[in-house]
Amino acid sequence: MPVEWNESLAIGVGVVDRQHRELFARAAEFEAALERSDALAIASTFDFLRSYAVIHFAEEERLMREAAFPGFEEHLAQHRDFTTRLDALVREHREKGPGAFLGLRARNWIVVWLLDHIGVVDQDVGRHLRAHVAARGATGPRP
């Protein structure tokens, strides 16, 4: 399964879609490092992906809060679960070194999570944010 963003994953909110593309790009760099069995690159691309996930989640959560997204708490829990599990993998990786099994497991889990979360859960956020912007544009003051 290639680590690739595609148009079907778009949620229709520019800033979020750009960040999702970047997340996939970083996951692809992690995958490439794994394929080269480059220990230093594996460690750095793993951290690179993790730091960007945190930036992205913070931005998405800010937008959800601003637009009073009704599924906010459950969504937040998914983000937290991802970073917690990613942290556990990063720790395991540092302790045990870049074993092929761990790397592959991490990579598969990250891809499945990204596809599932962005392809399903973030789509709800996109619909809500777009409706929120449209409603505000029609009735309320602009920011």
In the complex, the residues that contact Fe ion under the rule CB under 5 A are 60, 122
The span from the CA of 17 to the CA of 22, in Å, is 9
Which CB atom, from 31 or from 122, has the smaller least distance to Fe ion? Answer: 122
Please work out, in degrees rounded to the nearest 5, the angle formed at the alpha carbon of residue 125 by the alpha carbons of 45 and 121. Answer: 65
Residue pointed to by tokens 């960007």: 52
The span from the CA of 88 to the CA of 90, in Å, is 5
* Residue 121 beta carbon to Fe ion: minimum distance, rounded to whole angstroms: 6
* Residue 61 beta carbon to Fe ion: minimum distance, rounded to whole angstroms: 8
Which CB atom, from 71 or from 97, has the smaller least distance to Fe ion? Answer: 71
* Residue 90 beta carbon to Fe ion: minimum distance, rounded to whole angstroms: 20
Contact 45, 33 (CB under 8 A): yes
* Residue 38 beta carbon to Fe ion: minimum distance, rounded to whole angstroms: 28
Point out the residue whose Cβ comes nearest to Fe ion. 122
Which CB atom, from 106 or from 129, has the smaller least distance to Fe ion? Answer: 129
List alpha helices for the chain, DSSP H.
Answer: 14-36, 39-66, 72-96, 100-116, 122-139
Which CB atom, from 35 or from 116, has the smaller least distance to Fe ion? Answer: 116
